[in-house]
Structure 1
Amino acid sequence: FMQKVVVKEVSKRSKRRRHCWIRMSIGLCLVSYVVFLFWFVQRQLRKKEYKKKDKKQATDVFERTIVFVGGLQRSGTTTAATLLENIDESWSKQQVRQELGMIVNRIAKLRGMNPSYVKDTLSSGGLEGKFVQNVYPYHYLLKEWGSGGNTAIDKFSLSSELVQPDTGNRLWQQWHSFWNESATVLIEKTPENILMSQFLQSAFQNITIPNKVAFVFVLRHPLAWSLVIDKWLRNKWNRDFTKSLRPLQARVQMWLDVTTTMLDRDAPTLSSIAIFHAEVADLYPKKLLHLILTRIRIPTSFKQVPSTNPFSGYILANLAYLACWLNGKNWNSKRHQCDTSKKNISLQLRQQRRAQFDQLRITFENFTIVMGYSFSSTLPSRLCDREAECRVPHSFSWSLTDVGVRTERIASHYRPFFILPV
């Protein structure tokens, strides 16, 4: 009898335990469900908020100015974007706002590029708008020109058929996260903008009020640019495609063709454009900024120019590249001296370089002078003795005319597009 009682009591306890575990399980399930429901509702609400925010940001393009900065690679496009951004907090250029590896992989996947190439490009020139969009085709001007000569211009003269009613909105959706959200003047720097301005203006003209899109282009002396660009023509990414640009004359011709196309074909059609010389920005940054803002009609008040001028040293760099080239060497910008790998440079080679300079002057002077640049015959004589090696200057007290900048000679039909502080 007692054994039956014990068994019955044990059975009741086991049953109570089972009921207890069942109740606990049900309770945990209910709690988990409530937590999941709360998380799901919050997630949906956040999605709606993000959509509203994106929609608001997409419509904010009507209230903001997009300044497209362009120019040939190594002319000073990154420096120009920095100069403009330093005006005040209302200006913002596109920047990598997340871990570099993440944005590199994102761009590589979006554009189908080698991640190493993307990383090298971001390290040398910063973020460019052409990388983080898939609305228009990606092209690299140096590589395209090296492969097809001036037919490359056609690749950047994007057809109006590519401009759809939503083209501007699509570009904005892909670009806006790379700008400071509180900024009202947004800087998009892509060197090839110098040839794509008509497409960009057409893309945004249906979603912006007049004068809300502006273009700022920077030029650098054609000979200095041709010497500076040499290293980029020979790097591992471009050397197989840019062999046709190895002769110096071919590079100066490229500079002339691109600049002429921009001035003759595009500039007259743009509602707001400012073109300036990098060398002028080196000497007159404050005057230049005031005139740029007046030209593109952006009301910004700043009492003094930013403490540092990003263009400082451009003229000295131009002279250093020229002096080393006249010596038969290359300028090493990291060591701040001529390349010492070529130690014994003959007088004959230096004379050949002087003759090549004279030939460039004869060939291009009449074409570049109307854009404000001269192959001044006094430049070599200021840098070089008759037989000794040319000297790399560490300071100078010359005028703009002495370094090949002749803004007073700019053609009358080009002058309305240029910023001329002096």
Structure 2
Amino acid sequence: MRIEPDPERLVFVGGLHRSGTTPFAKVLDGHPDVSGLAATGVREDEGQHLQPVYPKAKVHGGSGRFAHRPEAHLTEASPLASAASAQAMLDSWVPFWDTSRRLLVEKSPPNIIMGRFLQAQFPGSGLIVVVRHPVAVALSNKKWRRLASTNPRKFQSLNQMVEHWLAAHRILAADARHLERLLVVHYERLIQSPAEELQRVQSFLGLEEPIDSSKLSSSHGDPYAERWASYRSWWRPGGWQRRIIGSRHAEEIAAFGYDWADLSGFTRPAGPLGLTESV
């Protein structure tokens, strides 16, 4: 079986849309020993749009929806898992990597629920998942969708987007015990203490030189925190959605280490769903 390059050189990056996976992947790509996919001609240089094996996230409803579809959660038991599929995926990505570098990164949001499948396809590969506050992800998606589309069929409330966040991260939490090389990076820590968080990434990847943190800024999340705070009054736009999210999901959000009412940072998880450690 021809598998080139060595699967242990592969690093997959995942995380829901608007969670910070793109800036994180670009920071990794800036390291002299790391190559991300580049000049692909597809959206955000995401490998999902290049490979011919598994359906893209948009087939399962796109951002805010795909994790609700059982068929989007690929594992080692998927009929798509095979040596031929692994080769086809690699063949689609290799032309867009600088294979002279030691580590090769593929970034796509659906990787958050595909870790077991990717591990089966490429034994020894690593998975880094970027996790961001569910409300910040919901607010960012709402803004992005207003700019990108006016299709009413794509409308989702903030509460629906938070429910999708919870669905995706439940799957990740359940899959984590099956993954040999998983690192969870919290977006809030990444922008508030970038050098410290990137040191964790450096150690996970076995890089000798530090990862440059100069392009990460703590100002990125501020507008969403301010907007969420403005929804405290139920008669304000978004106020009713804030009340629904708080009443229905506060406890589970806390189990993942977030305060539903405060977007300022990541706290200690209140339950077994907390995604804080590498595996």
Which residue pairs with 2:111 in the alignment? 193
8 Å contact from structure 1 (residues 129, 175) kept in 2: yes
Say if 1:182 and 1:145 are closer, same or farther in 2 by CA, change over 3 A.
Answer: closer
**Equivalent pair of 1:278/1:314 in contact (CA under 8 Å):** no
1:398-417 counterparts in 2 under 5 A?
Answer: 403-406=264-267, 408-412=268-272, 414=274, 417=277
Question: Is 1:152 aligned with 2:96?
Answer: no
For residue 409 of structure 1, give the secondary structure of its aligned residue in structure 2.
coil
Is there any run of 5+ residues in structure 2 with no aligned partner, and where? Answer: none
Identity across the alignment (%):
24
C-alpha offsets along residues 158-187 of structure 1, whole Å, 9 cap, x if unaligned?
A: 652111122222211111111112111111
Contact 2:12 2:107 in 1 (8 A): yes
Specify whether residues 258 and 357 from structure 1 end up closer, same or farther in structure 2 by C-alpha distance, changes over 3 A only: same
Partner of residue 137, structure 1: 55
Distance across 1 between alignment mates of 2:219 and 2:60 = 25
Q: Residue in 1 aligned with 2:187?
A: 278
CA offset at residue 363 of structure 1? Answer: 1.6
Structure 1 position 349 matched with structure 2 position 235: yes
TM-score by length of 1: 0.59
Q: Structure 1: 5+ residue runs without aligned partners?
A: 1-54, 98-102, 104-117, 206-211, 328-346, 380-401
Aligned twin of 1:78: 22
Contact 1:71 1:219 (C-alpha < 8 Å) held by counterparts: yes
- 3-state DSSP of counterpart to 1:216: strand
How far is 1:373 from its partner?
Answer: 0.7
Q: Given that residues 79 and 311 in structure 1 are in contact (C-alpha distance below 8 angstroms), is that contact kept between their aligned partners in structure 2?
A: no
Q: Using the alignment, how far apart are the partners of 2:194 and 2:60 within structure 1? A: 29
Does 1:169 find its partner at 2:87? yes
Alpha-carbon shift at residue 85 of structure 1 (Å): 2.1
Q: Which residue of 2 aligns with 1:261?
A: 171
Secondary structure in structure 1 of the residue aligned to 2:114: helix
Q: Which has the larger radius of gyration?
A: 1
* Corresponding residue to 1:316 among 204, 217, 222: 222
| Structure 1 residue 292, shift from structure 2 partner | 2.5
Whether the aligned pair in 1 keeps the contact of 2:38 and 2:96 (CA below 8 Å) is yes
User: 3-state SS of the aligned residue for 2:17?
Assistant: coil
SS state of the match for residue 193, structure 1?
Answer: helix
* Residues in 1 aligned to 2:143 and 2:255: alpha-carbon distance in whole angstroms: 28
Structure 2 CA distance, aligned partners of 1:142 and 1:160?
A: 16
Q: 2:128 aligns with which of 189, 199, 216?
A: 216
Q: Which stretch of structure 1 is more off in the superposition, 310-319 or 255-264?
A: 310-319
Larger RCO: Structure 1 or Structure 2 (Cα < 8 Å, ≥ 6 residues apart)? 2
Question: 1:99-155: per-residue Cα shift (whole Å, max 9, x none)?
Answer: xxxx4xxxxxxxxxxxxxx5xxx2xxx210011111222232773577x78642423
Give the aligned CA root-mean-square deviation in angstroms. Answer: 3.0
Query: Where do 1:107-126 residues align within 5 Å?
Result: 122=43, 126=44
- CA-to-partner distance for each residue in 1:389-414, whole Å, 9 max, x for gaps? xxxxxxxxxxxxx82521x2353564
